[in-house]
Amino acid sequence: MQTAKPLFDYPKYWAECFGPAPFLPMSREEMDQLGWDSCDIIIVTGDAYVDHPSFGMAIIGRLLESQGFRVGIIAQPNWQSKDDFMKLGEPNLFFGVAAGNMDSMINRYTADKKIRSDDAYTPGGMAGKRPDRASLVYSQRCKEAYKHVPIVLGGIEASLRRIAHYDYWQDRVRNSILIDASADILLYGNAERAIVEVAQRLSYGHKIEDITDVRGTAFIRRDTPQGWYEVDSTRIDRPGKVDKIINPYVNTQDTQACAIEQEKGPVEDPNEAKVVELLASPRMTRDKTVIRLPSMEKVRGDAVLYAHANRVLHLETNPGNARALVQKHGEVDVWFNPPPIPMTTEEMDYVFGMPYARVPHPVYGKEKIPAYDMIRFSVNIMRGCFGGCTFCSITEHEGRIIQNRSEESIIREIEEIRDKVPGFTGVISDLGGPTANMYRIACKTPEIESACRKPSCVFPGICPNLNTDHSSLIQLYRSARALPGVKKILIASGLRYDLAVESPEYVKELVTHHVGGYLKIAPEHTEEGPLNQMMKPGIGSYDKFKRMFEKYSKEAGKEQYLIPYFIAAHPGTTDEDMMNLALWLKGNGFRADQVQAFYPSPMATATAMYHSGKNPLRKVSYKSDGVTIVKSEEQRRLHKAFLRYHDPKGWPMLREALTRMGRADLIGPGKNQLIPLHQPATDGYQSARRKNSTPAGSHKVAKDTTKSKPMLTQHTGLPPRDTGAAGGNPWDKREQAKAAAQVRNQQAAKERSDAAKGKGKKPVKKPAVPR
């Protein structure tokens, strides 16, 4: 792995003399209080400003502040005019533009393309505070406000849309966001290194168009510069029928020369002896090799070429061996430098050790920001994920090399939460990151890691070169819960259970001390077809983890539950796959109150499958096998209905589908049958969608004869519920006891009142325990 200049080794900008601000200013009044006449950098974001390291604008803002720059924030501006974009004045160096912690389209629309009713990153959860494609709109307004000020585009929306990408909402391939936003440079992935380097160079008077050698950036070029060796991507991973190969030394921007070259016929005598010229291997000059992807126009018109380009892009994501990429858009090239070098532990500590206020900006008053409320007592211990799930953006954005904080830095943050954050009750709500248990897990040697091109370290099985030692994480858990004033450390991040079972000691530690009654995990499916397209382990790994979970829960004397999550309508999923998943759910006593349908996010491998019908996990060609795709609204509803097999609203659709599939034997009242034969009366029925928790059997439906196991549920923060199984739930018992005590207290109060009035004492009947 190449080395990079440490973030804390740059010379400080002159404005360092002002020192850190309590909050990065959002108004001219705040700037005046700080003694600033102007901002050096202004960050425009689609989220409310929360000065917390879980929010991107706070990390970038505080990092730039630590370099000596004066940084202002324009959060959720009114995009109808340029006025809000001028309220802090003209920045001396650049505008930093980001849509927020989420892609603005995913933030606003559901997987069914319906407008969401709320926005977790807005005060009061109010929807509509940011525009669609916020990065584009904000960039254009910044240009209107101050035309000559450079625009640096970043954040997850820019990161995942940096290349020509399929857009689910328009059902077509769109340009690189750099083109549409008319920005000067784009930073992708974790952008700390890139933003510091760009800011430093601009402060020295460099022109933004001359900054072309920073890793993790994309920018516009007219031609491949001298000294670079250009490779056609179709020669690396041939997609099938391709254009005639021309002289590689011809300038590909010179259309006249290309045309002459293509028209040339054989002019040499094949029997004539020739001098063999040995050329330097491009493998020896990897840092000067660029791969030319099919142009935007080609991938827009040819879905197979789109899948091919997506495959090559993902093959070039390891910072240790990735090459630059280039893709033509009309008359210009969009150039993508290799990914940034991962941060060291010392740099991670530096970034997370900034003077964050850890609360929302005072301008919001007492208004609640749901996303902040969710994470204010949580601690991020690492970045990155080597799982490589094809539907997920974490690996694509943060990379698959884990970047860890030190235990000392993490403990220090927990102490800050304990001592400074209002409302802390002693419970840390999460100690994790993109995953719960990849902390300090890495390849056995840096040499193997830097040469690897696999998209996942744990699929189809755990790589033998992966060190799966969980001892550092176990020690961290023990140190954290030993802190004075800390009552409980919960683990809420996604647990990679196929990795966890490699360390029984870790599973025991987790189950004994860090599960708050239930643990959510994501097997995503039970069938091999969709699991292979997701790059997820088989359901056998879940079963193995479940046995360990139950064993250690019993040893700890705790009644705890696993809550599994599943995806409907993912590429590779057939109706039969969903039927088998529904049977598994019923057989194991699970009822899904919430259903997660596949959401084709920009640039994801699964999205390339969805658009092209091809599998970019293997070599793509016109003749290669296709992938089953669920696109129609009707079939997506069917797959969700299978996940919610217990909801009578979906039974008519399921009856029709099961009959069509030749599985009418699954319709009936038997315990091995999926749905009843008859529809229930509608009076008194309320869908479980309308309730966080609905006791099994409360619907007026055909009697369920499977009484041997409690029915569990996916839900939003409520514990599993009692369903009549022997023993019930401790939570339900407590609620029943509370209800009984409340009734008894009311009866006693009435008795005292009657006695005071001379009516005499009436016997108090013991109230029935509510069911």
pLDDT of residue 26: 98
- Is residue 767 scored above 60 in pLDDT? no
Burial 126-140 (b: 16+ CB within 10 A, else e): eeebbbebbbbbbbb
> Quick check: 220 pLDDT over 60?
yes
Higher pLDDT: 564 or 737? It is 564
pLDDT tens per residue, range 292-315? 999 999 999 999 999 999 999 999
The pLDDT of residue 732: 42
Q: Dump pLDDT digits (tens) for 106-141.
A: 999 999 999 999 999 999 999 999 999 999 999 999
What's the pLDDT band for 280 if we cut at 50, 70, 90?
low
Residues 209-224, mean pLDDT to the nearest whole number? 95
Q: Is the pLDDT of residue 583 over 50?
A: yes
User: CA 654, 659, 665 angle in degrees (round to 5)?
Assistant: 95
Q: Is the pLDDT of residue 682 over 70?
A: no
Give residue 742's pLDDT.
Answer: 55
pLDDT category of residue 710 using cuts at 50, 70 and 90: very low
Does the pLDDT value for residue 730 go beyond 70?
Answer: no
The string of pLDDT tens digits covering residues 250-268 is: 454 555 555 554 555 444 5
Residue 721: band (very low, low, confident or very high) from pLDDT cuts 50, 70, 90? very low
Mean residue pLDDT across the chain: 87
Residue 276: the pLDDT is: 55
Q: Please report the pLDDT score of residue 263 as a whole number.
A: 53
Q: If pLDDT is split at 50, 70 and 90, which confidence band does 544 have?
A: very high
Do the strands 382-383 and 403-404 form a parallel or antiparallel pair, or are they unpaired? antiparallel
Residue 142 marked ligand-binding: no
Residue 158: φ, ψ to 5° = -70, -40
| pLDDT tens digits, one per residue of 47-67 | 999 999 999 999 999 999 999
How confident is residue 277, by pLDDT bands cut at 50, 70 and 90? low
What's the pLDDT band for 3 if we cut at 50, 70, 90? confident
**pTM of the predicted structure, to 2 decimals:** 0.83
- CB distance 715 to 594 below 8 Å: yes
pLDDT of residue 259: 53
List pLDDT tens digits, range 71-101. Answer: 999 999 999 999 999 999 999 999 999 999 9
- Other Cβ atoms within 10 Å of 534 Cβ, number: 27
pLDDT band (50, 70, 90) for residue 746: low
Lowest mean pLDDT segment, chosen from 120-129, 168-177, 222-231, 644-653: 222-231
Report the percent of the chain where pLDDT is more than 70.
Answer: 82
| CB 715, CB 593: distance < 8 Å | yes
Asked whether the CA dihedral 678, 682, 684, 686 is positive or negative, the reply is positive
**Domains contained in the chain, CATH given:** 16-229+285-337 (3.40.50.280), 515-679 (3.30.750.200)
Higher pLDDT, 690 or 639: 639
Instruction: Count Cβ atoms below 10 Å from residue 195 Cβ, excluding itself.
Output: 27
Q: What sections of 661-729 are H helices per DSSP? A: none
Q: Is 17 annotated as a binding residue?
A: no
Q: Could you give the 3-state DSSP secondary structure of residue 98?
A: strand
pLDDT for residue 716 is more than 50 = no
**Distance between CA 770 and CA 51 in Å, rounded?**
46
**Percent of the chain beyond pLDDT 90?**
77
> How confident is residue 452, by pLDDT bands cut at 50, 70 and 90?
very high
463 is in an annotated binding site: no
Structure-token match 């003209």, residue found? 90
More confident residue, 572 or 517: 572
Nearest to 359 by CA among 417, 289, 403: 417
Instruction: Specify the pLDDT at position 21.
Output: 97
Q: What's the average model confidence in pLDDT over 477-483?
A: 97
Per-residue pLDDT band for 594 (boundaries 50, 70, 90) equals confident
Of the listed ranges 210-224, 423-437, 671-685, 752-766, the one predicted with least confidence: 752-766
Residue pair 642/651 in contact by the 8 Å Cβ criterion = no
488-489 and 561-568 beta bridge pairing: unpaired
What integer is the mean pLDDT of 157-184? 97
- What is d(CA 94, CA 86) in angstroms, rounded to the nearest whole number? 13
Beta bridge partners of 292: 232, 326
675-684 contacts: CB < 8 A, separation 24 or more? 675/645, 675/651, 676/651, 676/701, 676/702, 677/702, 678/702, 679/648, 679/651, 679/652, 680/648
Say yes or no to pLDDT of 769 above 80: no
Residue-level pLDDT at 141: 98
What pLDDT was estimated at residue 396? 86
